[in-house]
Amino acid sequence: MKKVFIIGGAGKVGRRLAQKLSEQGNQPRSLYRHPEQEEPLRALGAIPVMGSLLELDAQGLAALLSGSDIVVFTAGAGGKGGQDMTRAIDGHGLELAVEAAKLAGIKRFILVSAFPESFRAKGMPESFENYMSVKKLADVYLAETDLDWVILRPGTLLDEPGQGKVRAGLAIPYGDVSRDDVAWTLAEIINRPAISRVIIELTVGNEAISTAVMHMEKP
DSSP of 45-59, one letter per residue?
T-EEEE--TTT--HH
pLDDT tens figures, 155-207: 999 999 999 999 999 999 999 999 999 999 999 999 999 999 999 999 999 99
Q: Is 174 a catalytic residue?
A: no
CA distance 5 to 69: 8
170 in Cβ contact with 201 (< 8 Å): yes
Q: Rounded to 10 degrees, what is the CA torsion of 156, 157, 158, 159? A: -170
pTM of the model: 0.94
Residues in the chain: 219
